[in-house]
Amino acid sequence: MAETKRKAVGRPAGSGKVSGGHSQSLVRGLNILEGLAAAPMGLALSDIAQIAGLAPSTTHRLLQALHKQGFITQDSELGLWKVGVKTFQIGNTFLEARDYVATARPYLRRLTEESGESANLGIRDGSMAVFLAQSESHQMMRMITRLGSRAPMHASGVGKALLAWLPEKEVERILQARGLARVTANTIDTPAKLREGMAEIRQQGYACDREEHAVGLHCAAASIHDERGSPLAAISVSGPVARIPESRLIELGSLVRRAAREITQQLGGRMPLPEEY
């Protein structure tokens, strides 16, 4: 037994057991951060434990560690946990490193001025569209998108604008991973309809969301491309159907197509041709 004990004590740092434990704690901590990021109003300990699938005691220990490092904060009155300043700083570094976000901001403001509606910029993250920037409309009824929020690619203007210019193998992979779940009664729900819509997007240079992601909302979007012609991001203009009927979608489509082309040129990218797909 003494010999066994000496072997255990002599185990080198960074062994599989120790490394695995640290990795597990890291993954759990990141999962908690993701859960808190999706709940800007904050979450109670019990809710976080349920989302993370952990015991309350384990969850509390991880929360304390994240709090100590400044990644999260706790409301002193309600006891709710929220994302902290350091998490924002790290996330903002990602935005600053992506030149297309800064480059697109003046164009988003111009689109809002031209259309009177909210303008957004989003990217693809796996099989979802993620919104990174917005120029908010001054209208009382307006489209407001929380930065960092996600939408299915097949059920959003930004998502479809990106999807239309992806290689067929990548489109197929996304369909296998996510399927075509209906978000509203107007959501495209068959591969045939989706591919027909993608061909139309490539021909006209912009995508339309006709109450496919949210009832009462219309959207026109166009993609920004890199030097290879691959979709880098997409911009959109969104607003209520009452102000954006079908006839105005064409007008807004032309606006976002022009802005996307200008951003692409400024970034040194190129607009691909429909016949390339």
Q: For a pLDDT cut of 90, what percent of the chain falls above it? A: 62
Fold of 98-276: Beta-Lactamase (3.30.450)
Closest CA to 251 of 243, 123, 109, 215: 243
Quote the pLDDT of residue 39: 85
CA–CA distances in Å: residue 5 to residues 14, 216, 246: 18, 69, 76
Kindly give the residue spans of alpha helices, DSSP state H, lying in the chain: 2-9, 16-37, 45-52, 56-68, 85-97, 99-115, 157-163, 168-178, 191-204, 246-266
Question: Widest CA span of the chain, in angstroms?
Answer: 84
83-101 tens-digit pLDDT: 888 887 777 666 555 578 8
Q: Give mean pLDDT, residues 212-231.
A: 94
Model confidence, pTM:
0.68
Fold of 11-89: Arc Repressor Mutant, subunit A (1.10.10)
| 88 vs 100: CA distance, rounded Å | 19
253-275 tens-digit pLDDT: 999 999 999 999 988 889 998 88
Quote the pLDDT of residue 197: 95
CA angle at 267 for the pair 224 and 261, rounded to the nearest 5°: 40
Cα Rg, the chain, nearest whole Å:
23
List the domain boundaries for the chain. Answer: 11-89, 98-276
Quote the pLDDT of residue 15: 37
User: Residue 123's CB: how many other CB atoms inside 10 A?
Assistant: 20
| 273 vs 277: CA distance, rounded Å | 8
| 162 vs 35: CA distance, rounded Å | 26
DSSP one-letter string for 149-199: -EEEGGGSHHHHHHHTTS-HHHHHHHHHHH----SSTTS--SHHHHHHHHH
Quote the pLDDT of residue 16: 39
Confidence band for 139, pLDDT divided at 50, 70 and 90: confident
Q: Give mean pLDDT, residues 163-192.
A: 92
Q: Give mean pLDDT, residues 203-213.
A: 95
**Average confidence score pLDDT of the chain:** 86
Give the distance from CA 240 to its chain's centroid. Answer: 22
Task: Provide the token pair at 59.
Answer: 């969850």
170-181 tens-digit pLDDT: 999 999 888 899
Quote the pLDDT of residue 94: 63
Which residue did the predictor score with more confidence, 139 or 15? 139
Q: Which of 17-26, 132-141, 150-159, 226-235 has the lowest mean pLDDT?
A: 17-26
| 137 vs 21: CA distance, rounded Å | 48
Quote the pLDDT of residue 276: 83
Predicted confidence (pLDDT) at residue 144 exceeds the cutoff of 80:
no
Q: What are φ and ψ of residue 95, in 5° steps?
A: -65, -40
Quote the pLDDT of residue 40: 81
| 225 and 268 Cβ atoms separated by less than 8 Å | no
Confidence band for 142, pLDDT divided at 50, 70 and 90: low
Which residue did the predictor score with more confidence, 169 or 16? 169
